[in-house]
Chain A
Amino acid sequence: MNNISMGQYLPAGSPVHRLDPRSKLICIALLVPAVLMTSNPLGLTLVSLWTLLVVLLSGIKPGLYWQSLKPLWVLLLISFVLQVFFTPGNALLTLGFIKISREGLLYSGWLLWRISVLLLAASVLTFTTTPLQLTMALEWLLSPLRRMRVPVQELAMMINLALRFVPTLFDEARMLLLAQRSRGTDFNSGSIKERVSRLTPFMVPLLTNIFSRADELALAMEIRCYRVGAARSRLHVMRFRPADYAALFLNTAILAAVITAKAL
């Protein structure tokens, strides 16, 4: 539990942290198609270098990016290996029934590269933006849908509450795990059936406590006059600054370059 997990916000006060969350979200939306559409190595190198520059600007040690994505690397490497083996094509190397083809190697290497860049970009977003900022940005981006009677504000509030409960759930689970371990529950050995039955002392109070917390939260919101659909003002007003325009411009330029290169 002493590890930084993916999606954790890390305060550092870097230029990336100070960007408006809306522009960060839009930049990601521009970067994703750019990464997926490039078909020449030069283009992908350009996009990768750009992402690495942002990583460096984010003021968070590169080692932490590595640490938070470690569980995913295993998955990526497995899929890489499988693809190398099972993509048909000109065999470069044959070991019994295993064949490594040129196409397989190229194709899966290309995929690995792309996914790595996307994961890195997503990590920059979640490392430098609080969940609250993200939902605010999302609400703003979805606000045109309000005309079509989509309850955008309520959706944003729901996402917000759900995100707010994640650390609470973790704390509660941690406390219960430690408490029941202190009373001798062994969660790490025995058959699957035994382990599942041992989860009762953990799951039952977890659910009860979470429900009662949710109940209290609803009450607290009502006491402070929260009403569904009522007009609400904000404590922190989002504002686009020159840096935001620069970031948006650069990302648009990259996407435009990729599209033109593809069209040519």
Chain B
Amino acid sequence: MPCIEVEELTHVYYPGTPLEIVALRDIELTVYDGEFIALAGSAGSGKSTLVQHFNGLLLPTAGCVKVLGRAISDKQHRQQLWRQVGLVFQFPERQIFSNTVFEDIAFGPRNLGWDSTTVSKQVKDTVALVGLPEEILSADPRTLSGGMLRRVAICGVLAMRPRILIMDEPGAGLEPATRQLILANIKEIQAQHGMTVILITHHLEDAAVFAERVAVLHQGVLLSIGPTREVLSQTELLHRAGLKAPFAVELAQRLSQEGIPLPSLPQSIEDVAQLLQQLLQTNGARPGGASL
């Protein structure tokens, strides 16, 4: 079932002035309930502008955006959307304002009007869900490391139990291990709770591992949308959008250029290893006699 339907969405900043920028042009996009979709694109491609329509922070200049069945131009619907659509901004740790981690994570749930026992239960559950120790709840956010803070800030949105979770570059500026950890966590929660996840990224390795579908934006235009494997194999198109295909995809293409075609397109380095092993087992020690 579709939970977000975007029809011919165009968004223009500062219309009618010399600063006019067309941020989005004729976007057609449907996001389905419970899926993990990645929005990929280089800086200025319109990713962030697009998702700000999804929880009613921006209104279309032209076209229509329907979220959970109703158009966001409906003011009443738009003002209640934050209850169901969680948006994790870039560098969310910059919004933390409380003296304890608990207070900050509890901020959203309290705004939802839950009673204090429910709030504290949800906060504890969420912290456990992302694998943070419970002691962290009484800590002062200023004493935590950047990676920890990021996870706390994401908890602040997750604790509201959104039906749709949008994350704007959740891994930006973090070391790869923490980035992987955050995304793996979100993936788990998505699978368990049937949450819809929209991940903004320019790092296609992440999209390859976690997303079921990928949409590629370039200068406000939707270049391609489809199953991850299909989109990521279009290296030409990705290149045009200013993106770099995952290493595994490029490796597979180089191999096939050198006369070693893999039976299917790998998405991760583990895939490549497995496929190569298969190839070796079926063809013998030296596949095709080609040199690497």
Contacts and interface: CB of A to CB of B under 8 A. Distances in A.
Interface string A169-213: 000000110111111110000000000000011001100010000
A4 B82 contact: no
Nearest to A204: B97
Given A201-B97, A205-B97, A2 B92 contact: no
A181 B89 CA distance: 12
B18 interface: yes
A98 interface: no
Contacts of B57: 178, 181-182
Contacts of B32: none
Interface in A25-72: 60-61, 63-64
A12 interface: yes
Contacts, number: 64
B95 A205 contact: yes
Interface in B1-60: 13-19, 52, 55, 57
Interface in B63-119: 82-83, 85-87, 89, 92, 94-97, 107-108, 111-112
Contacts of A183: 82, 107-108, 111, 156-157, 160
A60 B83 CA distance: 43
A183 B159 CA distance: 10
B62 to A, nearest CB: 14
Contact of B14 (A2, A184, A200): A2
Contacts of B14: 2, 4
Contacts of B52: 178
Most chain A CB within 10 A, of B13, B87, B92, B95, is at B95
B89 A178 contact: yes
A185 B18 contact: no
Contacts of A209: 94
A10 interface: yes
B134 to A, nearest CB: 22
Nearest to A3: B14
Given A2-B14, A4-B14, A178-B89, A184 B111 contact: yes
A109 interface: no
A176 to B, nearest CB: 6
A140 B95 CA distance: 41
B95 A184 contact: no
Given A181-B57, A183-B156, A201 B18 contact: no
A11 interface: yes
A204 B83 CA distance: 24
B19 A10 contact: yes
Interface in B226-249: none
Given A2-B13, A4-B14, A185-B111, A180 B95 contact: yes
Nearest to B162: A182
Nearest to B80: A184
A184 B83 contact: yes
Contacts of A184: 82-83, 108, 111-112, 160
A115 to B, nearest CB: 24
B82 A182 contact: yes
A176 B95 contact: yes
B107 A11 contact: no
A201 B16 contact: no
Contacts of A178: 52, 57, 87, 89
A16 B271 CA distance: 62
Nearest to B113: A184
Contacts of A182: 55, 57, 82, 85-87, 89, 157
A176 B92 CA distance: 9
Contacts of A185: 111
4 nearest A-B residue pairs (beta carbon): A184-B111, A204-B97, A183-B108, A182-B87
Interface of A: 2, 4, 10-12, 60-61, 63-64, 175-176, 178-185, 200-201, 204-205, 209
26 contacts: A2-B15, A4-B14, A4-B17, A4-B19, A10-B17, A10-B18, A10-B19, A61-B16, A61-B17, A176-B95, A181-B57, A182-B82, A182-B86, A182-B89, A183-B156, A183-B157, A183-B160, A184-B82, A184-B108, A184-B112, A185-B111, A201-B95, A201-B97, A205-B96, A205-B97, A209-B94
